[in-house]
Structure 1
Amino acid sequence: MKREATINRNTSETKIKLHINLDGNGISDIDTGIGFFDHMLELFSFHSGIDLTLSCDGDTYICDHHTVEDVGIVLGKGLNEALGDKVGIERYGTFYLPMDESLALVSLDISGRPYLVFDCNFNREIIGEFSTEMVEEFFRAFSFNAGLTLHMKILYGKNDHHKIEALFKGLGRALKIAKNITNNKIQSTKGVL
């Protein structure tokens, strides 16, 4: 069974094309028009083992908000669709990710019950053309559209680039664990996720 999804989403603010393969090799081709964001998504792809092709033509001349949030929506929908009935997946994934002086904790549950706990602070307003306030917005859009319970915490760190990178890599590593097929059952006493 192929765990893949293709999504095209067009609004007056963004035009997004996505293809996701959960059982890939972490290969990505990403162009959102925001360099730092592209880099973070490439890291997510590599560390999750998910192949990701994503392009976004967004109204970045206004700001980065619509592009970042809408990519989160589409990536979440793609993950949810590719997971299918979720039979056999490990379901839970937790990872501590060190990035130089920073340490992030990412813990998730592919539960079908979307929730985000985001305990992270940044000192800078912007990195490249990417607003640090959009980190939380991205992860909220992603978790709610993927149906994930997602907890993210920066335990400590000084460099905002490192902190954000630790979150994206940590998400990739936690998801790599959770999406892994380890049996032939739904991992819930209710029989459904």
Structure 2
Amino acid sequence: MKRKVTLNRTTAETAIQLSLNIDGNGQCEVSTEVGFFDHMLTLFTKHGGFDLTIKATGDTADNHHVIEDIGILLGKAFYEALGDKAGINRYAFQLTPMDEALCRVCVDISGRSYLVYDVPLTREFIGDFETELLEEFFMAFASNSKISLHVASLYGSNNHHIVEGIFKSLGRTLKEACAINPENKGIPSTKGIIE
């Protein structure tokens, strides 16, 4: 079963081309026009073992539209690539340290969209990335992948380290949740379906 997908999204605000292979080798080629966000997506891809290609352009008002729209398209890509979700682990969580910071990400590939976000950041920007857009990205991703996603910074003082730890943790968590376990038979739900 090939769990990969290519999607495009064009609006009056953004144009995005995205390819995702869940069962990849951690290869990443991203260009979002937001350098720090490119770095975070590269970490996410490497630690998740996914192959990800993104080419995105957005309007010049700020980075909000392009980052949110990437969250939308990346969420849709995971949803489509996972198919009927037969045999996946479904649940996973990771605690990930990054120097002085400790981050936690928990996932349930449930077919129900939910985000719990507890990441207090103290800077308005990290490089060219507006920190308030972190929650917007995760909201768009969770809504379109139809997963329950819990993201938390347990502690830390360096905002770059906190956000980096979160993206590494998200990659590792999704890798485990998406993994096919030969001991899992059928759809991992008593309903017999995850939509």
Give the alignment's TM-score, normalised by structure 1: 0.98
- 1:86 maps to which residue? 85
Deviations 1:100-150 (A, max 9, x none): 000001000000000000011000000111000000000000011001100
Moved over 2 A (4+): none
**What fraction of aligned residue pairs are identical, expressed as a percent?**
55
Deviations 1:136-181 (A, max 9, x none): 0000000110011000111000000000011111100100100000
- 1:147 maps to which residue? 146
In 2: Cα distance, 1:184 partner to 1:78 partner = 24
In 2: Cα distance, 1:65 partner to 1:184 partner = 41
Mapping of residues 1-193 of structure 1, within 5 Å? 1-59=1-59, 61-182=60-181, 183-193=184-194
Shift of 1:81: 0.5
In 2: Cα distance, 1:189 partner to 1:153 partner = 29
In 2: Cα distance, 1:28 partner to 1:173 partner = 15
In 2: Cα distance, 1:93 partner to 1:172 partner = 11
Shift of 1:184: 3.3
In 2: Cα distance, 1:139 partner to 1:162 partner = 17
In 2: Cα distance, 1:29 partner to 1:53 partner = 5
Q: What is the DSSP-based 3-state SS (H/G/I as helix, E as strand, rest coil) of the residue aligned with 2:25?
A: coil
Q: CA RMSD in A?
A: 0.6
Deviations 1:52-74 (A, max 9, x none): 00010111x21010010000000
Shift of 1:48: 0.6
Q: What is the DSSP-based 3-state SS (H/G/I as helix, E as strand, rest coil) of the residue aligned with 1:63?
A: coil
In 2: Cα distance, 1:101 partner to 1:128 partner = 20
In 2: Cα distance, 1:93 partner to 1:44 partner = 15
Q: What is the DSSP-based 3-state SS (H/G/I as helix, E as strand, rest coil) of the residue aligned with 2:103?
A: strand
Unmatched tracts of structure 1, length 5 or more? none
| 1:155 partner letter | L
In 2: Cα distance, 1:20 partner to 1:86 partner = 16
In 2: Cα distance, 1:165 partner to 1:185 partner = 35
Deviations 1:83-102 (A, max 9, x none): 01100000001000000000
Q: What is the DSSP-based 3-state SS (H/G/I as helix, E as strand, rest coil) of the residue aligned with 1:188?
A: coil
Q: What is the DSSP-based 3-state SS (H/G/I as helix, E as strand, rest coil) of the residue aligned with 2:162?
A: helix
